Each structure stands twice: as C-alpha cells, then as structure tokens.
C-alpha cells in the first residue's frame, strides 16, 4: 500500500483528533501512532474495535450511537449516506479515545450508477473500461461517506450452478487476476486515504467459487496444486496490488472452515504473502463455526476465529461476549486481540480517518439535497462500459444489426425490467433510474408504431421459484407476474411478431436467480419463456434473442431456433441504451466469454483449461473408450474466449521469433490480424500456452496474455506477445513454482478453440 503523505501533523486535543498520549506522537509515524493509541485502550475498547455491525432500517439509531460513544463498535456496513453516517461519527468523536468509525458497503459493480455485473465486465476483456467502472464506483461511494467496499470478488467459478458466478470474473485464473489488480487500483486510486478513494477488501478468501456442486455455502475439497495453480492467484494479485482488506469465505477448505483456518489466514496470507491489512469475517461466519461442527459453542468459535487471525467479526456478538473470558482463562493470549486491533486501527489509518474522521462525510451544508439526483450519476461511462461488455453469440444471415426503420416486435419478460437490468448486488442503484431495453430501443426507433411490445411470458411459471425469488427482496416483490394465462400472453406476442419485420425477445433469468443463495440444478431458460420462444420461432420471422442472465445458461435449443443471440448479462443503469446501441449497429460488439457455455448441466464442469488425460476424446473418431459422455456431443456450446463481431477477422502468419527459449531470454509470438469485413471493429487476440510434457500433468492450454485491438475495415496489423520463462512457471507436486525445460505449444486465436499453433523448446 502506498505511503501516506501527511503534513507532519501531530496528535492534539483538537475535537476531530484522537485524544492520545500527553507526549504527542506524530500522526505521520503510523506504527508509533497506533502503538501509542493501543497503550491507552482498555480491553473493552479494544474488543469494541473488532465489531462490525450491519445497520438495518429497523435498528434503533440512538442505541447504536450510544454503543459507538461507549467505544463498542468499530465500523458499520449498509448505512450509506452522509446524513446517516455523520451522527455515528459524531458519536465516535464523543467516545473516550475518539477513534473514528469506518463505513462499509458492498460496492460491487457501481454505487449509484450501476455498471454491468462483474461477469459482464470480464466479458469486455477491456482493462481500461473495467478500471473506469471501479473508479466511478469509488468516487460515488466516497461521496456518500463510504470508506471501504467488500470487493472485488475474485472467486474462480467453474460451476455455473453457483448463483454467485455473476459476482466474479469467470473461470480463468489469468483473466481474473488481471481484473483483480485493476479493480483494487480503481477503488483505492493513488491511495486509499484520498477523499475520493475507498479501500478494497478482496473476497471471499478463499476458494468460495469451488463449493461442491455449485451449492452456495458448501464445502470445498481441493488438492494443493490446484489451489495454488488455479484458485489462489487472483486473491494474491489483489493483495499485491495493495488491497487493504480481505473478506474471509464462508466455506470450509479440506475440512477446516476458512474462518478457523490458521494455515490459510496466518501461514499463507500473512506469512507467505506478506498481507498486512484487515481480515473481516463474512456475515455471521464466526457463529457458523458451531454449525460447521468445529466449535462446541460460541466461546470455542470466538477462540478459533481470533486465533486464526480474523480481525473483525461481521454481525455477530461472539467476540464481545467471549474474548474477555478466553483471555482471563489463558485460552487466548493478549497478542491475539492486540494483533486484530492493530489491523483495524491500521486500516482506519490507511483510509485517512485519523487525519480526518469526516474525510468522506464532509460538512452537513454540502450534503446532496437529493442523494438520487440525476446529476450524481455517470451515465455516459456506464453506457460505454456496458456496450463493451455485450457478447454476440450468433448472427445468422446478418440478422443484426437491425435497420432503424424496421418494424420490431419487442417481447419477453425482461424487456421492461428495470430491477433485473441492474443485476444482483446493485448497491445504491435505483430501478427507476435504470434504462430498460424497451426504453433504449424506443429512443432509437422514435416512431412508436414501429416498436410493438408484448410481454409474452412471465419469468417463471413455477410458483415455488417465484416465491423464493420474492423472498430474497426485503422491500417489495421483485418478480411480479402478469396474471393472464400463459397462452394469452404468448398469443399476444405472436400477434405482435406477425405484424413486425423482426422479433427481439428479451429472455433469461430475473436477477435474483443469479445471486447469493441462488444455486440452480437446471440452467435452462425457464419453461414459460422457452414456450414463448418456440411460438415465436413458428412465426417464421427473424428472431433475435437478447439474453439477460448472471451465469452461462444451457441454450442448445434456443441456439437452433434463433437467428441471432446477444448475451447481455445484467448490464446496469444504462443497459437498455447500450444494448440498443449494439442491436442497431451504433456500436460493433467486441465482448468475449469469460466462461464456457455448456451444452447441458450434465457436462459441468466444462472449463477450457482442464488437465490432459490419457484417453482424450478426438472429434471425428469413434468415442469408444475415450473420455466423453456418449449421449451428447462432446465439447461446449460456446467456448471460453468466444464472441462475434459485425465484421470478420482473420489470423495469418503466426510466427515465433525462435524455436528455443533460454531461462533468461524472451520469445516473440506474433500473428497478422486482418479485418476482412466491411465495418470497423475491435477484437480480442488471445495467447494460450500448453506445457506439453512436465513432471506433472499440465492443462491442455492456459491463457497467458491477450490484446484488445481496433481495426478499420480492411486494415491489418501484426500483434506481438512477449513470452518469458515466467509465463511457463507452475506449481509442481512439491508446490515449488518453477518452469521445466521441454516443449511448449503456443496458440493464438480469437477464442480458446479456434487457434493457430507453433512450438518451441525451453532450454
């Protein structure tokens, strides 16, 4: 983390600053300042700093302020305006030692302006765009008095049944690691102590995306090599980029809950990786140690967690209740508490709060009159990022782009769905401010008679699913059915389709279907909507599917029926405009899948970078005694890295600068990329490497680099990648990270399957 440049301030008795020692300790000397402060803290005050509480609308504000003034709370989350947080900071300033509070929130893909969900951001493969989304989110959150976010979530997920796939950046270690770095830098800016920065806490440490069967909160059992090679690097990348915090995962790893795992938290995170920041438990995780069956009671749970190095306990009271007794009995030592307190104070220091507890709260007279004011949004940025994240999966007969003069039937339960457009974890985003697909298309078409809307189907016909999705929302039902019978809805849509030149069907999941606690056994589009698609297909009119969903879906049948498919995920406040930009050709799509699309749930997992096997299935050869499912076509529906454009690109003349590489050398891999179509366009040139023979089985290929390039129609360009020994290193059976001499295949392609290949030897 960057050093803070403070102006040689000294602690004084001024009202905003900490009442510290009689001997002034320079605020610029972080360690001495914190040690000095800790010397003055009582045990209760120390334990108070370890308490992180959620502020719900129903909570008695006066009581909370009293607790804060008594030194019993270190920070809050879910209170998100300056007006709400100021009285709490005032209370902290009335406490004996005036230790400032911090205010946290789940700012995951935007704060007031909602950007595309993380999986969609990853689909842009555009680090500048992703960084911009994070920077805007930080500025908006900081302007609302927030100091820290529980993001980025960098859990590698290879099982789309997991609803939280939507919150991560996909299945690939390299791509996720690059994004992890970008997001941390974007949130924290030059320094997390800046007034327009917020601290990042990377989550969920560790391996949460690998929960068994994609069932949320489940167990993880994983070999050390797989852990080190595939799942841990993105957390490490975030920490190396300076993330000030870590949120600890709810799952267990090889039989130990992460919240009680001293190896994970102390040996790996702090000792091996040198992490010096704040470790926060996930919601209620310390208490859950009892349910996991590793703690007999709350006392033992608190003991395990504090010894494992969990600094702050999110929303449970066990530290407050149990730590004094544990200390007294000698079951824990003072250092366990002190280490945790030190991390909390250091994080507050790094957020700039000791220098100015009101850094992000500001003065009351400057509070926004309306926190939802349009002027506080960043619509242009959101639209630009959103259109860069859309992935064109199919475009038969140049169905897209649509003519602006065409008569369009817009159907589907997601065509007018402002809440869903924002996706899950939409922070302080307001549905009324999000642009639906209907809004976006209307703005382009202008002539109302040329846009015929019919809902066509409800999200689901399954009452149990509907109730579940609505139970997830605290305020009002999110998924509201059209009460008319399914066949009436479909007939209306078919009539609209028959009157139109082309059909655009907005189908997929409601946002709650891809959410925390929303694991699915079935990845089909819900049956009500599939029936609608079948009826639309039967009209014979060109059919464009606009998919909205937070995970790969199984769309085998729909892929056969549709003429064009645009994957839009949940694309945020400006989603409707961004999608319309692509549908009508004002923006040429350039997104690529950060996850593999399986043909069926039974195929999962389908990640592209699987290990080599002894009996691989070979396309075109009989399948007998090879690794495959005999009852379906082998291979995914859409591979990792896949995505089309309105123009075409060709790759030619792939070359390596040498057929050998020595351990200190460099190799240049190049390819000629040509835009062979009639439109300017961007594409992502992807570099994969396969270590052909090693001391361990290596993946069939691994993404090692990529470049997103723009080419004018007819333009060509040679793209170069530099390969060094570092790109060839891996964790071997002894967990030593090293490259092994031998043959390597280098592949370059516009997706992970359709590639050119050359080889070299590492000497």
Tell me which residues are annotated as active site: 282
Query: Between the CA of residue 412 and those of 41, 347, 459, what are the distances in Å?
Result: 60, 47, 8
SS3 263: helix
Q: Which is nearer to ligand NOJ, 134 or 456 (CB)?
A: 134
**Residue 203 sits in the site that holds ligand NOJ (CB under 6 A):** yes
**Residue 574 sits in the site that holds ligand NOJ (CB under 6 A):** no
Q: Which is nearer to ligand NOJ, 517 or 650 (CB)?
A: 517
Full DSSP string of 616-659: B--TTS--TTSBS-TTS-SS-SB-TT--B-SS-EEEEEEEES-S
CA atoms within 13 A on the CB side of 195: 9
Q: How far is CA 350 from the centre of its chain?
A: 24
Closest approach of ligand NOJ to the CB of residue 215, in Å: 14
Element at 37 (helix H, strand E): helix 30-40
Neighbouring residues of 207: CB distance < 8 A, sequence distance ≥ 6: 155, 220, 222, 227, 231, 232, 249, 251, 253, 258
Strand order in the sheet with 75-77: 278-280, 245-248, 199-205, 148-149, 102-105, 75-77, 51-54, 313-314
Closest approach of ligand NOJ to the CB of residue 634, in Å: 35
DSSP letter, residue 382? H
CA atoms within 13 A on the CB side of 706: 29
Q: Which is nearer to ligand NOJ, 204 or 355 (CB)?
A: 204
Task: Tell which residue, 404, 481, 486, 493, has the closest CA to residue 452.
Answer: 493
Q: Say how many residues touch ligand NOJ, by CB under 6 A.
A: 7
Closest approach of ligand NOJ to the CB of residue 117, in Å: 14
Q: Which is nearer to ligand NOJ, 180 or 535 (CB)?
A: 180
Q: Which is nearer to ligand NOJ, 247 or 489 (CB)?
A: 247
Closest approach of ligand NOJ to the CB of residue 283, in Å: 4
C-alpha 441/C-alpha 427 separation (Å) is: 26
Closest approach of ligand NOJ to the CB of residue 385, in Å: 22
| Per-residue contact flags (x/-) with ligand NOJ for residues 257 to 286, judged by CB under 6 A | -------------------------xx---
Closest approach of ligand NOJ to the CB of residue 38, in Å: 27
**Residue 45 sits in the site that holds ligand NOJ (CB under 6 A):** no
Among 516, 563, 567, 691, which residue sits at the site for ligand NOJ (rule: CB under 6 A)?
Answer: 516
Closest approach of ligand NOJ to the CB of residue 51, in Å: 15
Tokens (6 digits) for 272: 């091996």
Peptide bond into 206 cis (omega under 30): yes
Q: Which is nearer to ligand NOJ, 247 or 755 (CB)?
A: 247
Q: Which residue is nearest to ligand NOJ (CB)?
A: 150
> 590 exposed, middle or buried (CB, 10 Å; 0-12, 13-18, 19+)?
buried
Tokens (6 digits) for 160: 């789309």
DSSP letter, residue 100? P
**Residue 316 sits in the site that holds ligand NOJ (CB under 6 A):** no
**Residue 150 sits in the site that holds ligand NOJ (CB under 6 A):** yes
Q: Which is nearer to ligand NOJ, 516 or 567 (CB)?
A: 516
Q: Which residues within the stretch 82-121 sit at the binding site for ligand NOJ (CB under 6 A)?
A: 106
The residues binding ligand NOJ (CB under 6 A) are 106, 150, 203, 247, 282-283, 516
């Amino acid at each position: 983390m960057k050093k803070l440049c403070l102006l040689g301030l000294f602690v004084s008795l001024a009202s905003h600053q900490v009442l510290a020692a009689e001997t002034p300790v320079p605020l610029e000397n972080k360690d001495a300042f914190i040690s000095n402060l800790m010397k003055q803290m009582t045990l209760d005050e120390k334990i108070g700093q370890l308490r992180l509480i959620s502020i719900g609308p129903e909570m008695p504000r006066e009581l909370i302020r009293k607790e804060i003034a008594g030194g019993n709370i270190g920070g809050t989350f879910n209170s998100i305006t300056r007006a709400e947080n100021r009285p709490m900071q005032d209370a902290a300033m009335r406490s004996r030692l005036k230790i400032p509070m911090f205010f946290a929130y789940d700012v995951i893909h935007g704060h007031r302006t909602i950007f595309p969900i993380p999986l969609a951001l990853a689909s842009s493969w555009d680090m500048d765009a992703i960084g911009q989304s994070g920077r805007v989110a930080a500025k908006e959150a900081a302007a609302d008095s927030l100091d820290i976010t529980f993001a980025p979530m960098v859990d590698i997920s290879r099982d789309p049944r997991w609803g939280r796939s939507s919150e991560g950046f996909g299945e690939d270690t390299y791509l996720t690691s690059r994004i992890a770095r970008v997001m941390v830098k974007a949130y924290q800016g030059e320094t997390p102590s800046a007034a327009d920065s917020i601290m990042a806490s990377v989550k969920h440490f560790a391996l949460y995306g690998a929960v068994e069967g994609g069932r949320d909160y489940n167990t993880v059992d994983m070999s050390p090599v797989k852990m080190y090679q595939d799942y841990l690097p993105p957390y490490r990348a975030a920490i190396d980029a300076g993330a000030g915090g870590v949120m600890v995962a709810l799952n267990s790893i090889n039989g130990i809950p992460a919240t009680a795992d001293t190896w994970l938290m102390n040996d790996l995170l702090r000792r091996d990786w040198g992490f010096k920041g704040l470790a926060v438990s996930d919601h209620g995780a310390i208490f859950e140690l009892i349910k996991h069956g590793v703690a007999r009671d709350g006392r033992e749970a608190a003991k395990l967690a504090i010894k494992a190095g969990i600094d702050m306990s999110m929303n449970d009271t066990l530290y407050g209740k149990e730590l004094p007794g544990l200390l007294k009995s000698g079951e824990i030592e003072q250092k366990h508490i002190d280490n945790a307190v030190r991390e909390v104070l250091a994080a507050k220091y790094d957020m700039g709060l000791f220098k100015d507890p009101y850094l992000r709260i500001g003065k009351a007279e400057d509070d926004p009159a309306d926190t939802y004011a349009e002027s506080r949004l960043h619509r242009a940025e959101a639209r630009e990022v959103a259109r860069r994240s859309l992935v064109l999966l199919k475009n038969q007969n140049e169905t897209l782009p649509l003519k602006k003069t065409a008569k369009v039937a817009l159907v589907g339960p997601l065509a007018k769905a402002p809440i869903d457009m924002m996706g899950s974890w939409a922070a302080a985003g307001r549905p009324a401010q999000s642009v639906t697909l209907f809004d976006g298309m209307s703005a382009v078409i202008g002539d109302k008679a040329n846009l015929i809307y019919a809902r066509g189907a409800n999200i689901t016909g399954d009452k149990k699913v509907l109730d579940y999705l609505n139970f997830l929302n605290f305020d009002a039902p999110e998924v509201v059915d059209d009460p008319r019978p399914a066949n009436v809805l479909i007939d209306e849509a078919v009539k609209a389709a028959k009157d139109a030149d082309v059909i655009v069907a907005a189908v997929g999941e409601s946002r709650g279907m891809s959410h925390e606690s929303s694991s699915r056994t079935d990845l089909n589009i819900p049956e009500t909507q599939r029936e609608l698609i079948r009826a639309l297909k039967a009209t014979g009119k060109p059919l464009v599917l606009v998919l909205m969903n937070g995970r790969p879906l199984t769309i085998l049948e729909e892929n056969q029926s549709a003429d064009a498919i645009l994957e839009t995920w949940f694309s945020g406040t400006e989603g409707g405009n961004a999608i319309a930009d692509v549908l009508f050709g004002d923006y040429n799509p350039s997104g690529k899948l950060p996850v593999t699309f399986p043909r069926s749930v039974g195929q999962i997992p389908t990640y592209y970078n699987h290990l080599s096997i002894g009996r691989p299935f070979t396309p075109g050869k009989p399948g007998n005694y090879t690794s495959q499912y005999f009852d379906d076509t082998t291979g995914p529906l859409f591979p990792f890295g896949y995505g089309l454009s309105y123009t075409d690109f060709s790759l030619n003349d792939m070359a390596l600068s040498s057929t050998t590489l020595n351990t200190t050398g460099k190799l240049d891999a190049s390819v000629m990329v040509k835009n062979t179509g009639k439109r300017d366009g961007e594409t992502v040139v992807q570099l994969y490497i396969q270590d052909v023979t090693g001391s361990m089985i290596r993946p069939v290929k691994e993404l090692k680099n990529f470049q997103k390039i723009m080419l004018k129609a007819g333009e060509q360009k040679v793209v170069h990648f530099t390969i060094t020994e570092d790109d060839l290193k891996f964790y071997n059976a002894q967990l030593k990270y090293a490259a092994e001499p031998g043959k390597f295949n280098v592949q370059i392609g516009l997706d992970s399957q359709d590639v050119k290949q050359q080889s070299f030897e590492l000497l």
